[in-house]
């Protein structure tokens, strides 16, 4: 029973951190161009179907995957399966929480981000901002 509750709690944690990641990505892409998205597959999907549709699709796909994985883990009722799900859930939740934290901090004015997740987002945002300013000033915008 304890392993089942832990599996369900980690499932909720994975869904919650994915929701935060999706919300923070949507927030960031309101001010940054799609090219600021680091994931090349997500960037391609955003260009093809739009930011909102892509983020919604990613969240629904994640929700379906977590639900199916938890259902299989609970149905099989194998200690190795529980251990694998718990380990996977902890890693995924941590990575998604770090991504959401980075997105929130990187997209606010004078935002601060950790060294582990930081720096390059600032470079991308600064480069795009300077490029836009050069275009409006009559420059080519090419670097």
d(CA 106, CA 24): 10
Q: What's residue 54's pLDDT?
A: 97
Query: Per the structure block, which two tokens stand in for 39?
Result: 């994931």
User: Which of helix, strand or coil describes residue 32?
Assistant: coil
Can you give the pTM of this predicted structure? 0.73
Residue 124 clears pLDDT 60, i.e. is over it: no
**Within a domain: residue 143?**
no
**Within a domain: residue 10?**
yes
pLDDT tier at 18, thresholds 50, 70, 90: very high
Element (H, E) at 2: helix 2-31
Q: What's residue 50's pLDDT?
A: 95
Q: Within a 10 A sphere around the Cβ of 9, how many other Cβ atoms?
A: 12
pLDDT tier at 143, thresholds 50, 70, 90: very low
Query: Per the structure block, which two tokens stand in for 19?
Result: 């929701």
**Within a domain: residue 107?**
yes
The whole-number average pLDDT for the span 76-83 is 96
Could you read off the pLDDT of 19-74 as tens digits, one per residue? 999 999 999 898 889 998 888 999 999 999 999 999 999 999 999 999 999 999 99
Q: What's residue 104's pLDDT?
A: 86
Q: What's residue 75's pLDDT?
A: 96
91-102: b or e for each residue (b if 16 or more CB lie within 10 Å)? ebbeebbbbbbb
**Within a domain: residue 106?**
yes
Range of the domain at 12: 2-136
**Within a domain: residue 142?**
no
Q: What's residue 109's pLDDT?
A: 60
Query: Per the structure block, which two tokens stand in for 86?
Result: 């718990």
Half-sphere exposure of residue 51, counting CA atoms within 13 Å on the CB side?
16
- Cβ–Cβ < 8 Å for 86, 70: no
Count of domains for the chain: 1
**Within a domain: residue 141?**
no
Residue of 125, 92, 119 lying closest to 15 (CA atoms):
92
**Within a domain: residue 117?**
yes
């Amino acid at each position: 029973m304890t392993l089942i509750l832990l599996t369900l709690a980690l499932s909720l944690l994975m869904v919650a951190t994915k929701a935060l990641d999706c919300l923070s990505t949507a927030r960031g892409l309101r001010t940054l161009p799609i090219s600021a998205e680091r994931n090349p597959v997500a960037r391609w999907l955003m260009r093809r179907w739009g930011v909102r549709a892509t983020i919604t699709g990613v969240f629904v796909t994640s929700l379906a995957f977590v639900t199916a994985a938890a259902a299989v883990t609970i149905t099989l009722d194998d200690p190795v399966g529980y251990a694998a799900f718990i380990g996977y859930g902890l890693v995924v939740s941590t990575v998604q929480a770090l991504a959401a934290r980075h997105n929130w901090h990187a997209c606010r004015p004078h935002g601060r981000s950790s060294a582990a997740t930081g720096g390059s987002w600032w470079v991308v945002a600064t480069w795009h901002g300077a490029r836009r300013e050069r275009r409006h000033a009559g420059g080519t915008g090419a670097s």
